[in-house]
Amino acid sequence: MLMRLLLFAGTNVAVILVLSIVVNLLGLDDYLMQSQGLNITGLLIFSAVFGMAGSFISLLLSKTMAIRSVGAHVIKQPSGPTESWLLDAVAEHARKAGIGMPDVAIFESPDPNAFATGANRNAALVAVSTGLLQRMDRQEVDAVLGHEVAHIANGDMVTMTLLQGVTNTFVIFLSRVIGYVVDRVVFRTERGVGPGFLITSLVMQVLLGILATMIVMWFSRWREFRADAGGARFAGREAMISALATLGGTREPPHLPGEVQTLGIYGRVGAGLQRLFMSHPPIEERIEALRRAA
């Protein structure tokens, strides 16, 4: 469990490390070093470009990637009463939330789960698993749909992207600033960059990247509480509590591919340090939060 969470946290770090190695091979780090020292303005611009670009590309492709990763079927014309009801329920929640009608999709999975994604709150996607439709009654499914529509209305996908981009930017920026200081003070490199800069910046990217992941996961947990409140507002508090209780009664947390793992309504939980890397709070805490709000 701990290894899986650390691997998840390390995915974003690995992306930054690959970019860093490419940058060093291209000699861009040398360009960022002025004869008098570090080119702070150039480094900040460079960090922002590399830090934000990947996050926003992922956001723009999020709907397509999510549909492909789970093999979801987007409902264009309902083929039965269940699909018709799903479209009507999402449309009603979207009307209450004041957003455009999202695409609605169903994906094959025995696990009860659902997610929402998309770069535009008026052109998003809500997807539910066949396991969710089979294990929950319509009131509970309706609450889950309200939860997902609340994510869209709250702009959570865009906010997560901005947060990820900003933390990436500071990881790249601070790791190089620290690398420069160590290279000058400890390794006493006088011009350009030495091995101390490369080694230190790479090590700091790993450490700062893990810290950045903790920050992003903290926000991810907080947004789940807010989406639960939205689901309760749209579909009823007791229905939302009942839906969460049904999810909590599953033997194992529902599985989703890595591309959409943090988007699901329910994720894996842990104890101790593992909690820092959890994308979702424990079901018991979510239910308690809804009861306290009542």
**pLDDT tens per residue across span 18-62:** 666 666 666 666 666 654 567 777 788 888 888 888 788 888 888
Residue 294 has pLDDT above 80, yes or no: no
Q: Six-digit token pair at 171? A: 């990881």
Residue 220 has pLDDT above 70, yes or no: yes
Name the band, by pLDDT with cuts 50, 70 and 90, for residue 192.
low
Alpha-carbon gap, residue 67 to 198, rounded angstroms: 39
Residue 125 has pLDDT above 90, yes or no: yes
Label residue 72 left, alpha or beta by phi (over 0 means left) and psi (-120 to 50 means alpha). beta
Strand pairing class (103-107; 114-117): unpaired
Domains located in the chain, CATH noted: 2-61+158-218 (no CATH), 70-153+222-293 (3.30.2010.10)
Angle value at C-alpha 14, between 165 and 3, nearest 5 degrees? 110
The position carrying tokens 């994308």 is: 279
Name the band, by pLDDT with cuts 50, 70 and 90, for residue 249.
confident
Q: Which helix (DSSP H) or strand (DSSP E) does residue 289 occupy?
A: helix 283-293
B/e letters for 75-97, b = 16+ CB within 10 Å, e = fewer, are beeeeeeebeebbebbebbbebb
Write the secondary structure of 214-281 as one string of H (helix), E (strand) and C (coil).
Answer: HHHHHHHHHHHHHHHHHHHHHHCHHHHHHHHHHHHCCCCCCCCCHHHHHHECCCCCCCHHHHHHCCCC
What is the average pLDDT value for the chain, to the nearest integer? 84
CA separation (Å) from 258 to 63, 67, 209?
14, 13, 18
Write the secondary structure of 13-58 as one string of H (helix), E (strand) and C (coil).
Answer: HHHHHHHHHHHHHHCHHHHCEECCEECHHHHHHHHHHHHHHHHHHH
Pair 145, 124: CB distance under 8 Å: no
Angle value at C-alpha 262, between 202 and 241, nearest 5 degrees? 145
Query: What's the confidence (pLDDT) of residue 258?
Result: 54
Query: What's the confidence (pLDDT) of residue 256?
Result: 59
Alpha-carbon gap, residue 9 to 258, rounded angstroms: 12
Alpha-carbon gap, residue 289 to 294, rounded angstroms: 9
Catalytic one among 83, 140, 148, 224? 148
Angle value at C-alpha 235, between 286 and 253, nearest 5 degrees? 40
**Statement: the pTM of the whole predicted model exceeds 0.85:** no
Q: pLDDT per residue over 260-293, tens digit each?
A: 555 566 665 556 677 888 888 999 999 999 999 9
Angle between helix 195-235 and 156-185 (nearest 10):
160
Q: In what order do the strands lie in the sheet with 73-74?
A: 73-74, 103-107, 125-129, 114-117
DSSP 8-state secondary structure symbol assigned to residue 189: -
Distance from the first to the final alpha carbon of the chain: 34
Alpha-carbon gap, residue 222 to 26, rounded angstroms: 40
Alpha-carbon gap, residue 146 to 171, rounded angstroms: 35
Active site (annotated) includes residue 238: no
Alpha-carbon gap, residue 292 to 29, rounded angstroms: 52
Query: What's the confidence (pLDDT) of residue 5?
Result: 40
